[in-house]
Amino acid sequence: MRRPIMAANWKMNCTVSQARELVSALKGLVSEVSGVDIVLAPPFTSLPEVAKLIADTDISLAAQNMHWEESGAYTGEISPVMLKDIGCTYIIIGHSERRAYFGETDDTVNKKLKAALHYGLNPIVCVGESLAQREAGETTQVVGAQLQAGLAGLTADEVNRVVLAYEPVWAIGTGKTATPEQANEVHGFMRQQLSAAFNEATAQAVRIQYGGSVKPDNVAELMAQSHIDGALVGGAGLKADSFAGIVKFEG
């Protein structure tokens, strides 16, 4: 049985004071929740403040990006060691917005993934096809290639520590959710790929989140699917009550 994992990717939103308000409200709403991993990924500037606010909870902290080196002449970058130092335990790698706007490639995803594992951060690795790719019938080809290149060189034990997120680009921020069946089909394909590349036990153990317009009112049907183990949430993660609704998906 895979433990559900709900993560809020705040993207480039919230000042420190807005972050404080959001987290304070959320803490009250999810304090009774058990059996679900809850992860918050605020922007870098709010990480230390959010770390303090969640110190007395089971909520985990993630960054939205990092460099793969420990330190050095990389102006504007943040290293895995720095993230661990301020209390991050998760790291989002290869989000489609980073791939589309900031030159992230399968190769940099792979470097960051290896660094995350080396420095003891839990990676959330994002994959997903564009609308044009889906319409051209290339979804599994695209997702398969992203997985293969992104996870290249990892052992099965290392892959067991990875969370994958399937985020069809056409469903992000558009209000268009993949149907639960569409998402589950791709998740199932991803498990087949993991089984072929590593082993069946790993394929069954790895948690795969769905991301793309997840809301309190569609989360339950997504979570009812056999291969969907959680959600990576954008817009609905910026409101305490809606993210709490997602975290409590059974109710």
Q: Choose, from 97, 104, 129, 167, the residue flagged as catalytic.
A: 167
Residue 232 engages ligand 13P in binding (rule: CB under 6 A): yes
Q: Among this protein's residues, is 95 annotated catalytic?
A: yes
**Burial status of residue 32 (CB atoms within 10 A of its CB: 0-12, 13-18, 19 or more):** exposed
CB of 108 to ligand 13P, least distance (A): 18
What DSSP line would sit under 46-100, residue for residue? Answer: GHHHHHHHTTTSS-EEEES---SSSSSS-TT---HHHHHHTT--EEEE--HHHHH
Residue 217 engages ligand 13P in binding (rule: CB under 6 A): no
Q: Which of 202, 235, 240, 242 binds ligand 13P (CB under 6 A)?
A: 235
Residue 208 engages ligand 13P in binding (rule: CB under 6 A): no
Q: Which of 214, 240, 244, 247 binds ligand 13P (CB under 6 A)?
A: 214
Chain centroid offset of residue 81 CA: 20
Q: What angle do the packed helices 240-247 and 16-30 form, to 10 degrees?
A: 40
Q: Among this protein's residues, is 167 annotated catalytic?
A: yes
Footprint of ligand 13P on 63-102 (CB under 6 A): 95
Q: Which residues bind ligand 13P (CB under 6 A)?
A: 9, 95, 167, 172-173, 211-214, 232-236
Q: Please list the active-site residues.
A: 95, 167
